[in-house]
Amino acid sequence: MIHLKLVTLSGVKFDGDVHEVVLPTMTGQIGVLTDHMPLISAATAGIISIRKNPKDTDYQMEHFATFGGVIEVASNNIRVIVDEADNSSDINEAEAKKALDLALKMKSESKDEISLENAQKLVDRNSIRLQVAQLKRRSRS
């Protein structure tokens, strides 16, 4: 087992022993299992997926939408420090879809680079949140 601690500006979102963690990095997703080599990496916007037990299926994994930060892996401990991490149980799929639609509208109506960049950040954020909400729905099916 490995110990995962997921910390945000608002506090600890997850702190416990797990079998596997899948993390979004600048070079793609990485899976971390017991005895993973030491690593420090930037976390990118994406989904953190946690398999608590070796026999858990993909549908039993816990998911967090995250928007960048730092990952440290050492001695069977993973520490992820991010500004924000939304657990799938905290995301309403209908609200995430509505927010994504609004962000896409803002992007299409952008008149300058700054508003386009801000709208794209909102599109990315709400797209990830919607993906996590959909993963939650599929796991219930």
> Could you list the pLDDT tens digit for every one of the 141 residues in the chain?
999 999 999 999 999 999 999 999 999 999 999 999 999 999 999 999 999 999 998 888 999 999 989 999 999 999 999 999 999 889 999 999 999 999 999 999 999 999 999 999 999 999 999 999 988 777 665
CATH 3.40.50.620 fits 2-88, yes or no: no
- Domain ranges in the chain? 2-88, 92-140
Judged by phi (left if over 0) then psi (alpha if -120 to 50, else beta), residue 26 lies in alpha
- Tell me the two tokens of residue 3: 């110990």
This prediction has a pTM of 0.89
